[in-house]
Structure 1
Amino acid sequence: MDKAIAATRTAVSPQEALIYVMVTLSAVDREMTDRELRKIGDIVNTLPIFGGFDTDRLIHVAEACGAITREADGLHEVLTVIATALPKKLHETAYALAVEVAAADLHVEQEELRFLELLRDVLDVDGLTAAAIERGARARYRTL
């Protein structure tokens, strides 16, 4: 394993872990759409959880996440990094951010649904809470 990647894993902040969630969701279907990328940028620039985060680091954090996912068993590894870095009180937030990015391009791929399922499991987000988060996203992104 690359020393830079190993160092990144041990030093992942909760904010970076939330970015890992969004980047991984966006990349899991092998196509990061412009809408998804804009949504990630908007979230990082506007949500209070990212207060104090240096937005100039967003690309570096996304690249570090990508480096992990490209390894053998990378998806499992990134989920472990996320679960380790996030305090329990941010588990629902992480799931909500993933759903928000998934909904951004108005179509959710099977790979994205599978990642959401894995994320729910690793973060222990209960089914009722997950359903409420998903319903809220459907309401926000509905079109005529």
Structure 2
Amino acid sequence: MAFRIQPFEESNVVSRKLLRMRYAVYILKGEPHPTEGDGRRRMLITMDTAHDDLICCTWIQRTLPKARVAFRSNNRDVQAQMCVRGGGGIAVLPIPLGNSFPQLEIVDLGEEPPSRDTWVGYNKDLRKLRRLRVLLDLVIERLSN
């Protein structure tokens, strides 16, 4: 079983949409909020350059075109930590992760960052495997709560 952010296209893989992850823009509580279309004198905490083409990266750079990238990491938890400890950086984070940091607050920039689908895939020969079915049901149940 594998999880990824795009559907599986292999002919021998059963692919199914598992969840839609929503994102928000976060900043350290008490910091002044940036204004959409500006971002002057603001620092972005974003994905590393290998992931520059991700829609959340292009969205935040388009929304705050005058902000400069101050820190990059492909780990969202590290981005959240830097947002807390880095002194005023702005990060686009999955809402469950961002909300788990009480030091952070959501910034309203007029629209929510693009959400992202997560897909689960497994070999079609495993379709009737009871253990796999039970595990998938458990994952889906946990995600729906």
The two structures have a TM-score, normalised by structure 1, of 0.29
The structure showing larger relative contact order (alpha-carbon pairs under 8 Å, at least 6 residues apart) is 2
Structure having the higher helix fraction is: 1
Structure having the higher strand fraction is: 2
